[in-house]
Amino acid sequence: MKKIVFACTFFLLLVAGKVAAQKSFRFGFQTSPTFSWMRTDDKKIEGVSANLGLRLGAVGEYYFAENYAITVGLGFGFNQGGTIQNGYLSGKFWPDSELIPALQTLPNQAKLHYRINYVEIPIGLKMRSGSDGDKFRYYAEIPTINLSFLSKASGDIKGDNDLPSANQDDANDINIKKEVKKISLAWGLGGGVEYNLTGGTSLIVGLAYQQVFTDVTDNRGQVYTTETEFKKEDSKGTIRMLALRLGIAF
């Protein structure tokens, strides 16, 4: 965590120095409520519910033309993920986590809830309308690439009916960091409006969509197709997200 804080501080100081030295740079902060959900490429392991989360971060914009910029940021994504449901007869999905025996093999219809935190580095191309001095300016970010590093992952296990009361505590807040890939890559796009408050300071409101294209899950488990036959659980799990972007730029 100390290394992360140091990296964030260094980045902020570096970008702030660039802003002060060159008018072609802008610097800003954003907070983004998020709505994320999970999907897999296995029809028997489907996403069934979503997570509400939050993104916090700083963004630097380098304008190589009046209304065109390359953006680079550093931020934190909290509570990303969602819930997937087992459609096989049974399965072992989190074999590297410390689970009680009753939870090591999960039955049909069992639900696995992922709650993942990332340190994120978004890079993108931004386009704006209008010119300096306009009260409102519209923008689009197409495309954006997001490189994310895992910082924390926890999960819950649920069934169609509540798990036995003796197992409730053991089925919540499970450390599943070993079950999630350390790095993920995503593409996205977004757009919104900038409202000029005064001088070069603007409020930003927008909407963004993001989709991870690398496998989020570590796939060390197995699923049972019959009581005696099983196969490796190698589905590709991805996260998709909508974010309401709220920010300020200087």
**pLDDT beneath 70, residues of the chain:** 1-23, 160-167
The pTM of this model reads 0.87
Contact 85, 222 (CB under 8 A): no
Q: What is the pLDDT of residues 171-212, one digit of tens each?
A: 999 999 999 999 999 999 999 999 999 888 999 999 999 999
pLDDT at 211: 98
- The three-state secondary structure class of 178 is helix
Domain locations in the chain?
A: 2-249
**CA distance readout (Å), 211 to 83, 111, 173, 204, 237:** 16, 22, 25, 22, 11
Enter the CATH code of domain 2-249. Answer: 2.40.160.20
pLDDT at 151: 98
pLDDT at 167: 65
- Specify the DSSP element, H or E, that contains 7: helix 2-21
Q: What is the pLDDT of residues 215-240, one digit of tens each?
A: 999 999 999 999 889 999 999 999 99
pLDDT at 132: 84
**CA distance readout (Å), 205 to 36, 50, 78, 195, 249:** 19, 23, 20, 8, 11
